[in-house]
């Protein structure tokens, strides 16, 4: 069968649209310090609350799992050329999809308890104990179906104490603190908005003070999405 150039272009753009739709609403950490409120330990809004957020996270801007369509959105997809040499956190410019600027602020606390460019309040940062447990929440959309994604390609890394700027991705790849199950979700409502999350212990070998935390998930070969946050680790 022969296709005209125009119909080939139409087919190509429809495929692109499908791929784009498919890659939305799953590529960021929604909460860095999720606290379960009730005996029902679930990731649903009515069973907990968030006590610490990613950098410059706009509070109440959109419903859970909808910030992919925000301005700027929460997508940072690292460059496919060499994702391990890409900036750790979005700088708002580079990457396959640049997303919101999440580079370390000066001082680092300036990325929190402030206002974004639309005048919306931004979330607070995470304060945790050196022997504490953190529970992180994210939207995974329909990437929770069994045939998608290897869960071992989802991890949390943390920096050394009091870094002056965001360390490199290569550094973080050597400082993974937890490998979480991307598909650990509360199966309530539509699969597109299932809340998912994972918990891990802060190691007692982590020094007291400020640390950078990176949430990093791989969807396809070389397709890494990240979110960045800061931790204040206390005794």
Least distance to ligand NAG, CB of residue 20, Å? 9
Q: Quote the distance between the C-alpha of residue 15 and its chain's center.
A: 26
Nearer to ligand NAG, 142 or 162 (CB): 142
R_g over Cα of the chain = 18
What's the distance, Cα to Cα, between the start and end of the chain in Å? 70
User: What residues make contact with ligand NAG under the rule CB under 6 A?
Assistant: 18, 21-22, 40-44, 46-47, 133, 142, 145, 180-181, 184, 186, 188, 197-201
Nearer to ligand NAG, 142 or 220 (CB): 142
Distance (Å) of CA 216 to CA 73, 97, 113, 211:
17, 14, 24, 16
Residue that is written with structure tokens 């994210």 in the block:
138
Least distance to ligand NAG, CB of residue 55, Å? 23
Least distance to ligand NAG, CB of residue 192, Å? 7
Least distance to ligand NAG, CB of residue 178, Å? 8
Nearer to ligand NAG, 105 or 199 (CB): 199
Question: Residue 116 — φ and ψ, nearest 5°?
Answer: -90, -175
Structure tokens at 8: 């080939």
CA–CA dist 19, 13 (Å, integer)? 10
CA–CA dist 152, 154 (Å, integer)? 5
Nearer to ligand NAG, 22 or 165 (CB): 22
Least distance to ligand NAG, CB of residue 46, Å? 5
Nearer to ligand NAG, 9 or 18 (CB): 18
Residue 232, helix vs strand vs coil: strand
Least distance to ligand NAG, CB of residue 208, Å? 19
Picking from 76, 219, 80, 216, the residue whose alpha carbon sits closest to that of residue 150 is 219
Nearer to ligand NAG, 169 or 214 (CB): 214
The sign of the dihedral angle between the CA atoms of 95, 161, 165, 59 is positive
| Cα Dmax for the chain | 70
């Amino acid at each position: 069968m022969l296709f005209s150039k125009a119909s080939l272009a139409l087919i190509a753009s429809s495929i692109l649209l499908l791929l784009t739709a498919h890659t939305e609403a799953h590529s960021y950490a929604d909460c860095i310090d999720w606290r379960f409120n009730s005996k029902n330990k679930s990731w649903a809004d009515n069973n907990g609350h968030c006590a610490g957020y990613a950098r410059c996270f706009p509070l109440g801007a959109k419903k859970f799992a909808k910030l992919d369509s925000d301005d700027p959105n929460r997508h940072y997809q690292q460059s496919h050329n060499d994702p391990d040499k890409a900036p750790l956190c979005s700088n708002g410019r580079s990457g396959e999809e640049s997303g919101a600027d999440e580079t370390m602020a000066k001082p680092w606390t300036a990325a929190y308890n402030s206002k974004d460019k639309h005048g919306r309040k931004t979330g607070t940062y995470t304060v945790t104990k050196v022997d504490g447990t953190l529970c992180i929440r994210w939207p995974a959309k329909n990437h929770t179906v069994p045939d998608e994604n290897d869960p071992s390609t989802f991890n949390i890394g943390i920096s050394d104490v009091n870094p002056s700027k965001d360390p490199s991705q290569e550094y973080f790849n050597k400082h993974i603190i937890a490998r979480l199950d991307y598909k650990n979700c509360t199966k309530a409502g539509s699969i597109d908005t299932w809340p998912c999350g994972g918990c891990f212990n802060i190691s007692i070998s982590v020094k007291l003070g400020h640390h950078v935390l990176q949430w990093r998930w791989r969807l396809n070969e070389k397709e890494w999405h990240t979110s960045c946050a800061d931790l204040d680790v206390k005794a």
